[in-house]
Chain A
Amino acid sequence: MSDHPDKPHTPQTVPRKSATFDDYTLSEIRRAAATGIYDIRGGGAKRRLPHFDDLLFLGASMSRYPLEGYRERCDTAVTLGTRFASKPIELKIPITIAGMSFGSLSAQAKEALGRGATAMGTSTTTGDGGMTEEERGHSAKLVYQVLPSRYGMNPDDLRRADAIEVVVGQGAKPGGGGMLLGQKITARVAAMRTLPEGIDQRSACRHPDWTGPDDLAIKIRELREITAWEKPIYVKIGAARPYYDTALSVKAGADVVVVDGMQGGTAATQDVFIEHVGIPTLAAVREAVRALQELDMHRKVQLIISGGIRSGADVAKALALGADAVSIGTAALVAIGDNDPALEEEYQKLGTTAGAYDDWHEGNDPAGITTQRPELAQRLDPVKAGRRLANYLAVMTMELQTLARANGKSNVLNLEPEDLVALTVEAAAMAGVPLAGTRWIPGSDA
C-alpha cells in the first residue's frame, strides 16, 4: 500500500546478488585488485563436490546376514607391501596418517601425530624436508617420502624408515610443487632443507632424476637396492588420471599406490590450483581399482585412498569401492586441535573464524600446529594431542566395524561395491554403483 494516497504503489524486488558474482567472488576480485598477487592458502578444495556422503550402505536384508554388533569379530588389520618388500608393513587399522612436513607443521604437531598413530597401531608419514627425530622417535611405523625437492633426503633415514613413498603428486595440486613461505623457514627448517633462512621456498614439481614411468621403474629399483628390498615402496599420485596413473605405478613396480583426491589438503598453494585442478576423491577410487583389477593386481598391490576422509563411514565406503586403506591429513589436524572454536577470539584477530582458518602458510596458527613460532607451537601438548588423535582413530575404526558388521562382513576388507548405492546420478556414475532404488549405473556398459 502506498504511503501517499494519491501515488500508486510500485512493488520493489528484493536486492538480488549474482550467483556468478557471489560475495566470495567479489571479495576475491577486490583482494586481487588491491594486492596484485594470487591467493595462497592451505587445505584442500572447499567447493561442494560429489563425495562419500552421496553413497549409502544397504545393510543386511533377506539375502545378507548381519553380524552381531558388539560380539562377533570384525577384523581391521591390513598388510601393505606384499608384492615385493621382504618386510611388509602391518597395520592394526586401515587408516593411516598422510604425509605432512616438519616445516609446514610444528615439531609438537608431528610428535602428536606419531603418538596418536602409534597408539592405534598405524603409520604416519614424513613430508617435504626430511625426517625429524621427534617423528621417528614417536612413530612406531613411519613412511618416508621421496619428494621432487629431496630436501633432507638421506640414505640413513631411508634405511630406518618402515616404508618409502615416492610422491608424484598430491590431490590438492596435481602437477604442483610444495610451497613454504619465508615466515616458516626458521633456522632449523632452513638447515634441514639446505636453504637460506627466511626465504620463500618453492619445491620442485618434477623429480630431478627421473621422467615418466620407465624411469620411475629404475628409480624404484635403486631405492630397493639401497634398502635391500626390505621396504614397501608406495607411489603417491594426485587424482587426475587415476586409471592410467595407477596402472603405470604398478608397471613401475610399486607395492602400494596412494591416490589423493582434490579434497586432500596441502600446506600451501594457490587457491586457483586447489579448486581447479584434479578430480574428487570419489571419482578416483573406482578408476584406480579398475586399473588394478584389469592387471590382476587388486589386493596384490594395495590401494590407499585419501582426500576428505572424515569418518568411519568414509573409510567403509572407500574400502567397499576397493581400497585397502585410507589416509587422513586434515581430519587428523582437526583432531589434534586445528580450527578449534575455543580459539575463536584469536581467529577473529587473524581476520577469519574457526572452521575457516586456512592461512597455514603464514605460520600464525593459534593452535600451535601449522606454525614454527615457538610461543605458538608450545601451546600444543603432544601427549594430549596424540591422545585425541588416538581417540578419533578409535571412533573411526568402531564406526567402520559397525558398518561392516551391518553388511555382514567379518573383515572390513570384505566390504564390496554391491553393499552400496548412490543418492545422486553423479555419485552413481563416479562410484560405479546403482542410483538408490534403481539398477541404473550411469556410464556402465551393462
Chain B
Amino acid sequence: MTPKRVELDLADLSVRQVNAALQAADQGIFHVLHPGGEHALACGLDAPIEVHVDGHVGYYCAGMNKHASVTVRGNAGTGCAENIMSGLVRVQGDASQSLAATGHGGLVVVEGSASARAGISMKGVDIVVGGDVGHMSAFMAQAGHLVVLGDAGSDLGDSIYEAEIFVRGSVASLGADCEEKPLDEEHRSILAGLLQRAGFAVDTATFKRYGSARRLYHFSIDHMDEY
C-alpha cells in the first residue's frame, strides 16, 4: 500500500498544529509548506514517517528526532536535529550553529556548510557535512562520527572524548586534546559507509582522521597548559 501523502501548510496552520499532526502519525509522507523560518518544526517525532519541509526553517528543526526521516529543502537555523536519537535529518542548504548538538544516534546530513559548534557534545550521532564546518565543531564530542568534505574552522574537536572526525579539506586548528590519527582500513570502511549513506561519492583516501589524545581524561597538574 502506498503511504498516504499529506500536506501541512503553515500559511493556514500553526506550528503546534503541524507538529501535533506529525507527532500523532505512525506512518505516511508529509510535506510541510511555507515554513517561513519557523522554530521547532517537526521536533519530537517518534515514528518512521517521512517529512519534507519545503523551505527554510528556524531553530531546532527535527529536534530530538526518533525514527523519522526529515528533509529540509532550504537552510536550517541553530540546533537543527539537536539531541537526535535515531532516523535521518537532511538539510539541502546550509545549517547554522550547533548542528545535531548532543545527538545520540541517527544520521544528519548537510549538503551545504554548517556553522560553529557542529556536533557539539555529540553522543553517538553520525554527521556528514558536504561543505565546511565552523569553529569549535565536535567540541566535547563523546561518540559518533563527524565527516566534513570541506574545511574545518579553528579548535576542531576541543576536549573531545571518543567521537571520530574525518576532514577532507584543511583544519584551521585542532582544539585541546584533539590529534590527527592514522586513517587505517577499519576507519576507511566506516567512512565509506557514512559517505554512501549520506549520498556523497568521494574517495576516502582524501580524508584525514582526528580523535582524542586522551591526555585530559584524568586531571593532572602536568597538563595545566591545556586547561
Partner of A225, one of B15, B82, B101: B15
User: If the complex has contacts A154-B85, A196-B162, A215-B78, are A228 and B20 also in contact, measured as CB distance less than 8 A?
Assistant: yes
Assembled-state Cα–Cα distance A193/B123 (Å) = 8
A217 and chain B: residue at smallest CB distance: B39
B-chain residues with CB within 8 Å of residue A36 when the two chains form the complex: 221
Partner of B218, one of A182, A193, A218: A182
Assembled-state Cα–Cα distance A255/B180 (Å) = 46
B-chain residues with CB within 8 Å of residue A194 when the two chains form the complex: 104, 123-124, 142-143
B-chain residues with CB within 8 Å of residue A221 when the two chains form the complex: 39-40
Tell me whether A395 is interfacial, beta carbon within 8 Å.
no
Assembled-state Cα–Cα distance A193/B121 (Å) = 11
Assembled-state Cα–Cα distance A208/B136 (Å) = 11
Q: Mark B115-150, 1 if CB is under 8 A from A, else 0.
A: 001001101100000000000000110110000000
Tell me whether A153 is interfacial, beta carbon within 8 Å.
yes
**B39 touching A218 by the CB < 8 A rule?**
yes
- State the majority secondary structure of interface residues on B: loop
Q: Mark A147-163, 1 if CB is under 8 A from B, else 0.
A: 00111011100100000
Partner of A200, one of B98, B120, B140, B219: B219
Tell me whether B35 is interfacial, beta carbon within 8 Å.
no
**What's the least CB distance linking B48 to chain A, in Å?**
15
Our count of residue pairs bridging A and B at CB distance below 8 angstroms stands at 96
A-chain residues with CB within 8 Å of residue B106 when the two chains form the complex: none
**A195 touching B142 by the CB < 8 A rule?**
yes
**B43 touching A226 by the CB < 8 A rule?**
yes
Near A by CB (< 8 A), chain B positions 197-227 give 217-219, 221
Which of B4-12, B60-68, B181-189 contacts the other chain? B60-68
User: If the complex has contacts A154-B85, A210-B79, are A222 and B40 also in contact, measured as CB distance less than 8 A?
Assistant: yes
**What's the least CB distance linking B36 to chain A, in Å?**
15
Tell me whether B59 is interfacial, beta carbon within 8 Å.
yes
B-chain residues with CB within 8 Å of residue A227 when the two chains form the complex: 44
Name the residue in A154, A204, A209, A215 with the highest tally of chain B Cβ atoms < 10 Å from its Cβ. Answer: A209
A194 and chain B: residue at smallest CB distance: B123
Total interface residues on A, CB under 8 Å, equals 31
Partner of B102, one of A153, A182, A228: A153
Near B by CB (< 8 A), chain A positions 100-157 give 149-151, 153-155
B-chain residues with CB within 8 Å of residue A226 when the two chains form the complex: 43-44, 63-64
B217 and chain A: residue at smallest CB distance: A199
**What's the least CB distance linking A102 to chain B, in Å?**
17
Q: Mark B34-63, 1 if CB is under 8 A from A, else 0.
A: 000001100110100000000000111001
Tell me whether A219 is interfacial, beta carbon within 8 Å.
yes
**A225 touching B218 by the CB < 8 A rule?**
no
Tell me whether B83 is interfacial, beta carbon within 8 Å.
yes
**A196 touching B63 by the CB < 8 A rule?**
no
**A200 touching B44 by the CB < 8 A rule?**
no
Name the residue in A37, A218, A229 with the highest tally of chain B Cβ atoms < 10 Å from its Cβ. Answer: A218
Assembled-state Cα–Cα distance A254/B174 (Å) = 38
Tell me whether B161 is interfacial, beta carbon within 8 Å.
yes
Partner of A208, one of B39, B98, B161: B98
**What's the least CB distance linking A329 to chain B, in Å?**
25
**What's the least CB distance linking A425 to chain B, in Å?**
41
Tell me whether B75 is interfacial, beta carbon within 8 Å.
no
**B161 touching A195 by the CB < 8 A rule?**
yes
**A225 touching B66 by the CB < 8 A rule?**
no
Assembled-state Cα–Cα distance A198/B129 (Å) = 32
Assembled-state Cα–Cα distance A193/B142 (Å) = 9
Name the residue in A37, A195, A208 with the highest tally of chain B Cβ atoms < 10 Å from its Cβ. Answer: A208
Assembled-state Cα–Cα distance A209/B140 (Å) = 13
Tell me whether B92 is interfacial, beta carbon within 8 Å.
no
Near B by CB (< 8 A), chain A positions 80-117 give none
A-chain residues with CB within 8 Å of residue B221 when the two chains form the complex: 36-37
Assembled-state Cα–Cα distance A150/B217 (Å) = 19
Near B by CB (< 8 A), chain A positions 369-427 give none
B-chain residues with CB within 8 Å of residue A200 when the two chains form the complex: 217-219
Assembled-state Cα–Cα distance A208/B221 (Å) = 27
A-chain residues with CB within 8 Å of residue B15 when the two chains form the complex: 225
Other A-B pairs beyond A225-B44, A228-B23, 5, CB < 8 Å: A150-B101, A158-B64, A209-B78, A210-B78, A219-B59
4 nearest A-B pairs in the assembled complex, by CB-CB distance: A226-B44, A209-B79, A150-B102, A155-B64
Instruction: Offer 20 A-B interface pairs, CB within 8 angstroms, sorted by A.
Output: A36-B221, A150-B102, A154-B104, A182-B218, A195-B142, A199-B161, A199-B217, A200-B218, A209-B82, A209-B98, A218-B60, A219-B59, A221-B40, A222-B40, A222-B59, A222-B79, A225-B19, A226-B43, A226-B44, A228-B20
